[in-house]
Amino acid sequence: MPSNTLIKKLVHAALDAQPITYLHTHVYNPRFGSSPKPGSMLLWGIDELVTYHYLVAEVYRVVPASVLPYETFWKMPKADQADHIWRHLFVERTPVSEACRGVLTTLGLLGLNPNEKTLKPHRKWFAAQKPDAYVDKVMKLAHVDKIVMTNPVFDDAERALWESDPKLNSDPRFAAVLRIDPLLRDWPLAAKRLREWGYDVRLDFTGKTVAETQRFLRHWLDKMNAIYVACSLPPDFRYPAASGNGAPTAADNFIRDVLTPVLAERNLPWALMIGSRLRVNPALNDAGDMVGQSDVLSVVNLCREFPANKFLVTMLARENQHELCVAARKFGNLMLFGCWWFLNNPSLIDEITRMRLELLGTSFIPQHSDARILDQLVYKWDHNRKLIGAVLVDKYADLQATGYKVTPAMVKRDVALLLRENFWEFLKR
């Protein structure tokens, strides 16, 4: 029977050898245009890394808006924004937050010195990288075999690209996901846009609304070759939203009559990311969103009412994690994923991953935290692999204490399930 030291070695070797599918990012393939070209969607490099919205929020704790008004910050060139953040968070303070540490891990793994006092030397290094080859480099370093994009169909700039470039999704390193937030969050707006695009839909869901909205979804699923449909939802998302004998809301109608039938017919999952309260501080833009507690029972209702559908679910509030885990024990069509956004901190990842293993065995997807900048894949994976490894080592030690034999093949199999196969198997199921 392997000793605990041997188990540790086995786990870390298995984790290092296992390619990962990164199932939710906002990282695009280079055909979407690469930064620093204006309007590009593939963001990478030191200035993007340092101006990530997590760090914008953190610098405003240190240099408040009374000193640097938000409008002034947003008007500054990106490099000046990055210099400001670097100086205040990395030079004049100790960069202990997880978002700061992430930048330093990334730089270190790229072979750069995380102790530089200015960003000049880093800029020089990044300027010498070619986007296409750099994608390969990052994927190799992070050991990611597929980057799953997020493709919001209601985003005008992105939709225009899909309309104009039939080969937009031809890069085999990436997969597309149809993101449809306005259809659930703001039906009047979504219906207006659909009408502009030639779909005969009505606000009250009468007439051809159901068939036409389904036609819209099918069109975009095909065009994007999307591997699932996604949306982020507020803490007050409820399904059903209508109570008692009340008439169904637009979101109820959309879910019941449009979305779930199309997804069942295509055997595609619906990814729900629940708990983001948008723009509580609008002046901070992307950095101004926060978290709120959500309703797990609504997820339960969806899983029960639509057994032919598959639900990939993550919730943003720590307070929801236990109930959500218990819900997943009740429904095979519910797959939990990730430690999303504000949960992507070592203490919380450790706690949540432990709890999920204890309640769900190996039948969940532990990773994903989101990434908007290509280079972030390097650190998110480095940190996550170590955290998942530490939890697995403890769990195997507990197993061995019962007399059960943990073998190298088992460790490899478990790690493959957690980092990659559970996701792809769930898509096929």
Q: Which residues are at the interface with ligand RAT (CB under 6 A)?
A: 26, 150, 232, 273, 276, 286, 341, 370, 372
* Smallest separation, CB 11 to ligand RAT (Å): 28
Shortest-Cβ-distance residue relative to Zn ion: 370
- Which residue type, as a one-letter code, is found at position 178? L
d(CA 329, CA 317): 19
d(CA 110, CA 200): 51
Where do runs of H (alpha helix) occur along 118-186? 120-127, 131-142, 156-164, 181-185
Place of tokens 């501080």: 281
Nearer to ligand RAT by Cβ, of 163 and 286: the residue is: 286
Which option in ligand RAT, Zn ion, none does residue 372 bind, with CB closer than 5 to 8 A by kind? Answer: ligand RAT
* Smallest separation, CB 146 to ligand RAT (Å): 18
* Smallest separation, CB 372 to ligand RAT (Å): 5
* Smallest separation, CB 232 to ligand RAT (Å): 4
Tell whether omega for the bond before 172 is within 30 degrees of 0, i.e. cis.
no
Nearer to ligand RAT by Cβ, of 201 and 284: the residue is: 284
- Which residue type, as a one-letter code, is found at position 387? L
- Assess 370 for contact with Zn ion (CB under 5 A): yes
* Smallest separation, CB 155 to ligand RAT (Å): 12
Contacts of residue 247, Cβ cutoff 8 Å, sequence gap at least 6: none
Pairing of strands 229-233, 276-277: unpaired
How many residues are recorded in the chain? 429
Where do runs of H (alpha helix) occur along 361-429? 376-401, 408-416, 422-428
Cβ contact 277:290 at 8 Å? yes
- Assess 289 for contact with Zn ion (CB under 5 A): no
Which option in Zn ion, ligand RAT, none does residue 286 bind, with CB closer than 5 to 8 A by kind? Answer: ligand RAT
Q: Which residues in 46-105 contact Zn ion (CB under 5 A)? A: none
Nearer to ligand RAT by Cβ, of 150 and 260: the residue is: 150
Stretch that binds Zn ion, among 71-79, 279-287, 317-325, 365-373 (CB under 5 A): 365-373
* Smallest separation, CB 55 to ligand RAT (Å): 12
Comparing CA positions, the residue from 225, 259, 239 lying closest to residue 427 is 225
